[in-house]
Amino acid sequence: MKILVTGAAGFIGYHLCEKLISLGHEVVGLDNINDYYDVDLKYARLNELGIIRDSISFNNLVDSTIHGLQMQFVQMNLQDEMELPKIFADHKFDIVCNLAAQAGVRYSIEKPMKYVESNIVGFVNLLECIRNFKVKKLIYASSSSVYGMNVKVPFSTDDNVDHPISMYAATKKSNELMAHTYSHLFGIETIGLRFFTVYGPWGRPDMAIYLFADAISKGNPIKVFNNGKMSRDFTYIDDIVNGIQFFLAKTPNENSLNSSNVNYKIFNIGNGNPQSLTDFISAIEFNFSLKSKKDFLSIQDGDVPHTWADISQLEGLGYNSTTGITEGIQKFAAWYKRYHHENN
């Protein structure tokens, strides 16, 4: 198939591109390469795909030096109403995988308009292209953050998600609502995947595991919010990518929201086994053979104390999460040491 992957220079997008290429699909990657975090890391990911930094410029498609026409990339803003349709006109996409978004729960409280521009305006622009160019299927990233102040665990797609506590979460809920509208009006199959705390090699520097590893390896104190009384359904990147790939060729008959709109589906993708923050930190310390200095702080605005994914619907379709934090953190630590050794 020919697949558009938005957010291709991002953490999950990069890994998905690698997976799709290995399966023989043709991939067009799109990313605006914004400076929310270190762009050198984004360019390094693209370099792994054979997309050379010096060849990249806005709105110009470049070929991979490794994979040729099987992997192409364009730097573009998703909300660009003039340029995005040109990509769709030039390529007959079978599927769009939308992983592009302005990320970050805490940053969304400081810079809400960035989230409106990318996550809402950009998403509608993408939906319009999918509609106008007759793309069969959209798979898009939602987030566990949509559960907001939900206290019932594990979090189920049947739970009410009308109480987001960050602008980031609100935009992700908006994506789900807009996808439902386009599924209903235009018969587009949309599959929203609520990711739970993704980690692994090539991860974002603003994510907890990266922040902890960086501080621990440099002997700096780590910030432990809610005085350590946090737990997360940490999900290794391979399990996330395998979950996305699971839906490329398979069209589940089961609708996770029991809606009359059979084209609209929402699923959780998590490990289904939450871990305490203290155990997670201990595993990082073990892999760096160092003990951390901890600054215990109160919970931050936009944060929730616990997440836990109910993945029974996915398991019923034949999907399983297979990587625990012992193996996952070991792989992350090995990559982190190698990457920083090569780039320092």
The predicted-structure confidence for 65-95, as pLDDT tens digits, reads as follows 999 999 999 999 999 999 999 999 999 999 9
pLDDT at residue 234 tops 80? yes
pLDDT at residue 324 tops 90? yes
Active-site entry in 36, 107, 147, 168: 168
pLDDT at residue 255 tops 70? no
Q: Residue 22 burial (CB < 10 Å; 0-12/13-18/19+)? A: exposed
- pLDDT for 220-232, tens place per residue? 999 998 888 899 9
Q: What is the 3-state secondary structure (H, E, C) of 281-335?
A: HHHHHHHHCCCCEEEECCCCCCCCCECCECCHHHHHCCCCCCCCHHHHHHHHHHH
Mean pLDDT computed over 126-147: 97
CB of 265 closer than 8 Å to CB of 179: no
Highest mean pLDDT among 117-121, 148-152, 294-298: 117-121
Model pLDDT, residue 262:
82
pLDDT at residue 256 tops 50? no
R_g over Cα of the chain: 19
Domain ranges of the chain: 2-199+235-272+309-322
Question: Is 168 among the residues known to form the active site?
Answer: yes
Mean pLDDT computed over 38-48: 98
- Structure tokens belonging to residue 200: 């692994």
Mean pLDDT computed over 187-209: 96
- Structure tokens belonging to residue 23: 């399966």
Helical ranges in 37-157 per DSSP H? 39-48, 84-90, 105-110, 112-115, 122-132
Model pLDDT, residue 253:
55
Mean pLDDT computed over 268-284: 94
Residue at 90: amino acid letter? D
Q: Give the three-class secondary structure for 231.
A: strand
Model pLDDT, residue 197:
95
If you average pLDDT over every residue of the chain, what do you get?
93
Percent helix, strand, coil in the chain (nearest 5)?
A: 40, 20, 40
| Straight-line distance from the first to the last Cα atom of the chain, in angstroms, rounded to the nearest whole number | 39
Quote the percentage of the chain above a pLDDT of 70: 97
Question: Which superfamily does 2-199+235-272+309-322 belong to?
Answer: NAD(P)-binding Rossmann-like Domain (3.40.50.720)
CB of 196 closer than 8 Å to CB of 233: yes
